[in-house]
Structure 1
Amino acid sequence: MIVTTTPEVDGHKVVKNLGVIGAECAFGMNILKDLFASVRDVTGGRSGAIQSTLRDAREASLADLKKEANQKGANAVIGVNLDYSEFSGGGKSMLFVAVTGTAVLIEPTES
């Protein structure tokens, strides 16, 4: 399954547009990750724990997007957009990733 942020795939043409699809993923941040992120706010630098959670959320969302595209009979998803958000309150934090794109059937163009 080809997944791209571009509106087309080099060397291929879209033969059928199967519609907009999307997937979402929410990951909870545990107390240790929140604590380490707070320390990074003060000391500066990168938070490996937060980066790992963001990567996991992105990968899970893209896997779900591919699954939905496959169910529609697509062999590619074009125009993919990823949005990241954080929800927090009541002492809890959640990272949220939403991904959308257009499920399509593509075929190689003749050279």
Structure 2
Amino acid sequence: MIVVTTNEIPGYRVTAVLGEVMGLTVRATNLGSSLTASLRSIGGGEIPEYTKIMYESRAEVMHRLVSEAHQRGGNAILSMRFDTGAIGQFSEVCAYGTAVVVEPVAAGEPGATPQSAHVASQG
């Protein structure tokens, strides 16, 4: 699955737009992590306990985003974005974008790239 933050993929042609897809998770920290993080915040700097939670959340929402696009028949997601927020002491992470079907532009066609030409020749 190709996932990009741009509105198009160089060397690929969009053949179908399948609509918006998203992945969402809401996470809470456990009491031990919250206590440790609170103590670390006194001195300033990065709080590894929260960084780990955010990385795990990002991985989870990307998995859900890609799964939803795949279920709709897509092979790419355009204009992917992350959004985060807080609901009380919980953190929300959302990834969203537009599921599409793309095909590589073959060598010699306008807009072809070396990568798309290679993929088109494989397929």
Q: Give the TM-score, by structure 1 length.
A: 0.90
1:102 to 98, 108, 116: 98
Runs of 4 or more, structure 1, over 6 Å off, are none
Instruction: Report the Cα distance in structure 2 between the residues aligned to 1:38 and 1:13, rounded to whole angstroms.
Output: 49
Q: Give the TM-score, by structure 2 length.
A: 0.82
Deviations 1:24-47 (A, max 9, x none): 111111112222222232101111
The corresponding residue for 2:10 is 10
Stretches of structure 2 that go unaligned for 5 or more consecutive residues are: 108-123
Residue-pair matches, total: 107
Comparing both chains, which one has the higher relative contact order based on Cα–Cα distances under 8 Å and sequence gaps of 6 or more?
1
Amino acid at match of 2:102: I
The corresponding residue for 2:60 is 60
Greater fraction strand: 1
**What is the alpha-carbon root mean square deviation over aligned residues?**
1.1
Give aligned-pair identity as a percent.
31
The corresponding residue for 2:39 is 39
The corresponding residue for 1:80 is 80
Instruction: Report the Cα distance in structure 1 between the residues aligned to 2:4 and 2:55, rounded to whole angstroms.
Output: 17
Greater fraction helix: 2
Instruction: Report the Cα distance in structure 1 between the residues aligned to 2:73 and 2:48, rounded to whole angstroms.
Output: 37
